[in-house]
A and B are shown apart, each in its own frame.
Chain A
């Protein structure tokens, strides 16, 4: 029951993503800097940005993460 709901949610999510990705075919996006005129630029850039940020934070975490009671006296 729950699994089928999650499956349906995923399908509708992917459907929305596809519409947005290909909306660039119909909607003329105004480009200000050249690079942002690239096809589906916001989709690609948003996706890659998040992946980048997560891995940067993982890398920083290696050095800066400590157990919760680190500061307890």
Chain B
């Protein structure tokens, strides 16, 4: 029992529950550090087990991959905790810590039941993070929760079926012959933002507070990437899912006006890259997926901190309302651009040394079409996130907004992550050494750098040439969620107004028929009815005689 208290994830959950009681928010920063020390002291191969009936629960099982994901989760929790010191909502910070603690517990879990329990805690606590945003967060939060509870139910069906048919709860590579593997897969994919449920990301994340969105961006989708790596590496079907997500993200981000929604679509796009890598499933591809998850968490948090700072200071989120902030928010702009260059995989940034592994994996497997698609998508990432975000927010027109860089804790958090983006990009060896497999790949060759620069700079040229087609409009873009937000409502209304009325008329007429029948029965057979009232003896004798006479006649002639 003492040992399970020293679980790096569960201890964060415990800490998180006490946050509302803590006055000095700097103390909160110690929690991720404490969790990090515990994790650091545990060797690979450490396990904590618990007997549970016929099954054995593995609360903690550490290997290179789960360690990598736990480290990055703790790092980003630490940075975002600094960023959000001036966030007054205690429910947001507290639930965010429980949320991150359960994400780490999912990553460290060794069996499907433990995984499921923390998976569900993640869904609930992240919903509270969303609800802590504002009054407008209520309905997006409900839709978010509904999608995740649906995903959770599908996952549970899969886990129960899988445990029953295989007799094991251990979580490792899932058997492709077992039908329940695919229920588990569907549950995982819903959390990854796969179609047709991708819209929960751009719907829910931007409705959280300026700091809540940063918390949300890192954990749910990347936990899903982790479990997909463990359970479904090499499932080819995932390549198609990933490609869809990549292009969905680009196209919807191009059409979007809200800067935080642009960055949310771009999460779907980036997770798409990782899922393609999981689908390829070779050692270099898995290294690609995990290093991309690692670097993506940093630069996406940085981008959302930059956008969050703009929202915090100006209260605006739409590209059409923003512009020209480079003069008043220079540091926010520089950090935003470093994040944008990293997501676009510019040489000397973290994106360059991580995404290249996935692209290289397609070369080794001789997947020409896939290589062409991923290269096109790399150009598209620069287009929709790399230039579009900084251009419309910080340059474009001068929107004449009174603004200044945010408070120093927020500036510090952004500088910290910017430095990491560049350090990882300049010294890739450190990240490569903690990846699950040995890395032989060398990202910095003259050949590769020149190809990447050509690709990106000419995408930049295309952006400025097409600028008038990229002008933002006050619109949203319909997604699959139309089916439950509009079509579903139409169906309910149809039942409510048309069919219900029909049904009511029908019920009324049945009712009327019943009443009339009873009435006529009452009329004829009631106390004063012809058939019901009492008759005199004479009448009775007469009628009996008539009946007997008729009976006699029938008998005679029949």
Interface residues of A (CB under 8 A from B): 13, 16-17, 20-21, 23-24, 27-30, 32-33, 35, 40-47, 49-58, 60-61, 64-68, 70-71
15 more contacts with CB within 8 A, not counting A33-B368, A46-B455, are: A17-B458, A27-B450, A35-B372, A42-B451, A43-B455, A46-B454, A46-B457, A46-B459, A49-B380, A50-B458, A54-B466, A54-B470, A68-B475, A71-B476, A71-B485
Beta-carbon nearest neighbor of B473 in chain A: A65
Which residues of chain B in 413-433 are interfacial with respect to chain A, using CB atoms and an 8 Å cutoff?
none
What is the distance, in angstroms, from A47's C-beta to the closest C-beta of chain B? 4
Asked whether, in the complex, the Cβ of B462 is within 8 Å of the Cβ of A54, the reply is yes
Beta-carbon nearest neighbor of B481 in chain A: A71
B541 at the interface (CB under 8 A from A): no
5 nearest A-B pairs in the assembled complex, by CB-CB distance: A50-B462, A42-B454, A46-B455, A49-B376, A47-B458
Beta-carbon nearest neighbor of A65 in chain B: B475
Encode contact with A along B445-485: 1 for CB under 8 Å, 0 otherwise.
01100111111111111110010011001111111000001
Given the known A-B contacts A54-B469, A57-B255, A66-B477, are A21 and B379 also in contact in the complex, defined by CB atoms under 8 Å?
A: no
Asked whether, in the complex, the Cβ of B383 is within 8 Å of the Cβ of A53, the reply is yes
Q: State the CA gap A39–B368 with chains docked (Å).
A: 18
Beta-carbon nearest neighbor of A34 in chain B: B368
Asked whether, in the complex, the Cβ of B455 is within 8 Å of the Cβ of A42, the reply is yes
B363 at the interface (CB under 8 A from A): yes
Main secondary structure of the interface of B (DSSP, over half): helix
Q: State the CA gap A44–B456 with chains docked (Å).
A: 11
Q: State the CA gap A22–B466 with chains docked (Å).
A: 23
**A50: B residues at CB distance < 8 A:** 379-380, 383, 458-459, 462-463, 466
Asked whether, in the complex, the Cβ of B454 is within 8 Å of the Cβ of A66, the reply is no
Asked whether, in the complex, the Cβ of B461 is within 8 Å of the Cβ of A47, the reply is yes
Beta-carbon nearest neighbor of B475 in chain A: A65
Jot down 13 A-B pairs with beta carbons below 8 A, ordered by A: A21-B454, A28-B447, A29-B450, A33-B372, A46-B462, A47-B459, A49-B380, A50-B379, A50-B380, A53-B247, A65-B477, A66-B477, A71-B485
**A64: B residues at CB distance < 8 A:** 255, 477-479
**B250: A residues at CB distance < 8 A:** 53, 57
Asked whether, in the complex, the Cβ of A58 is within 8 Å of the Cβ of B469, the reply is yes
Given the known A-B contacts A54-B466, A60-B251, A61-B255, are A67 and B474 also in contact in the complex, defined by CB atoms under 8 Å?
A: yes
Could you count the A-B residue pairs with CB atoms below 8 Å apart for me: how many are there?
A: 133
**B368: A residues at CB distance < 8 A:** 33, 35
Q: State the CA gap A33–B324 with chains docked (Å).
A: 44
Q: State the CA gap A18–B95 with chains docked (Å).
A: 52
Interface size class of B (residues with CB under 8 A): 35 or more
Beta-carbon nearest neighbor of A58 in chain B: B469
**A17: B residues at CB distance < 8 A:** 457-458, 461
What is the distance, in angstroms, from B263's C-beta to the closest C-beta of chain A? 17
Q: State the CA gap A30–B466 with chains docked (Å).
A: 31
What is the distance, in angstroms, from A41's C-beta to the closest C-beta of chain B? 8
Asked whether, in the complex, the Cβ of B455 is within 8 Å of the Cβ of A53, the reply is no
Asked whether, in the complex, the Cβ of B462 is within 8 Å of the Cβ of A66, the reply is no
B254 at the interface (CB under 8 A from A): yes
Contact of B447 among A30, A51, A58 (CB under 8 A): A30
Asked whether, in the complex, the Cβ of A27 is within 8 Å of the Cβ of B363, the reply is no
Encode contact with A along B365-383: 1 for CB under 8 Å, 0 otherwise.
0101001100110011001
**B408: A residues at CB distance < 8 A:** none
Which residues of chain B in 274-325 are interfacial with respect to chain A, using CB atoms and an 8 Å cutoff?
none
Q: State the CA gap A28–B450 with chains docked (Å).
A: 10
**A41: B residues at CB distance < 8 A:** 451
Asked whether, in the complex, the Cβ of B446 is within 8 Å of the Cβ of A27, the reply is yes
**B446: A residues at CB distance < 8 A:** 27
Beta-carbon nearest neighbor of B378 in chain A: A46
What is the distance, in angstroms, from A68's C-beta to the closest C-beta of chain B? 5
Contact of B383 among A30, A44, A54, A67 (CB under 8 A): A54
Q: State the CA gap A16–B376 with chains docked (Å).
A: 21
What is the distance, in angstroms, from A19's C-beta to the closest C-beta of chain B? 9
Given the known A-B contacts A33-B371, A50-B459, A71-B486, are A66 and B476 also in contact in the complex, defined by CB atoms under 8 Å?
A: yes
Q: State the CA gap A35–B451 with chains docked (Å).
A: 14
Q: State the CA gap A60–B251 with chains docked (Å).
A: 8
**B458: A residues at CB distance < 8 A:** 17, 20-21, 42-44, 46-47, 50
Asked whether, in the complex, the Cβ of B466 is within 8 Å of the Cβ of A20, the reply is no
Asked whether, in the complex, the Cβ of A32 is within 8 Å of the Cβ of B486, the reply is no
**B455: A residues at CB distance < 8 A:** 42-43, 45-46
Given the known A-B contacts A50-B379, A53-B251, are A20 and B450 also in contact in the complex, defined by CB atoms under 8 Å?
A: yes
**B479: A residues at CB distance < 8 A:** 64
**A51: B residues at CB distance < 8 A:** 462, 466
**Residue of B255, B457, B475 most packed against chain A (CB within 10 A):** B457
